[in-house]
Amino acid sequence: MTKAEFTQEKGQLTVHLIGDIDHHGASMIRYNIDTHIMKAMVKVVVIDFTGVTFMDSSGIGLVLARHKTCQDCGASLYVSGVDRQMGKILALAGIRTIQNINV
């Protein structure tokens, strides 16, 4: 089961993902994340994958679509807690990874 927890501080919304991200899990949290991004009206969104135990390509799709949502809202998207391989894939898509979730 995938779960998303949200924290907001100083213009930054952090989405802490927990559990498995597969097709079913990703579809369950997309709307929830987008709603928080649009309501928060922040300049920085960080998606933290530290609590993710499994992820397939749906996780990458989740990030790419949230990147578009952030662009539409005038926010920057970063990801945290991803392994080196996923970091490389996301970098090719123009998404920045960070080591520390406090940007």
pLDDT 10s digits, 54-73:
988 888 899 999 999 999 99
In a domain, 55, yes or no: yes
pLDDT 10s digits, 13-55:
999 999 999 988 888 899 999 999 999 899 999 999 999 999 8
Total domains present in the chain = 1
pTM more than 0.75: yes
In a domain, 90, yes or no: yes
Range of the domain at 12: 3-98
In a domain, 103, yes or no: no
Phi (first) and psi of residue 22, to 5 degrees: -125, -170
* Residue 86, pLDDT score: 85
Q: What whole-number distance in Å separates Cα of residue 17 and Cα of residue 98?
A: 15
CATH number of domain containing 68: 3.30.750.24
In a domain, 28, yes or no: yes
In a domain, 83, yes or no: yes
Torsion of CA 59, 65, 67, 68, to 10 degrees: 170
Mean pLDDT of 2-6: 93
Q: Which pLDDT band, with edges at 50, 70 and 90, does 98 fall under?
A: confident
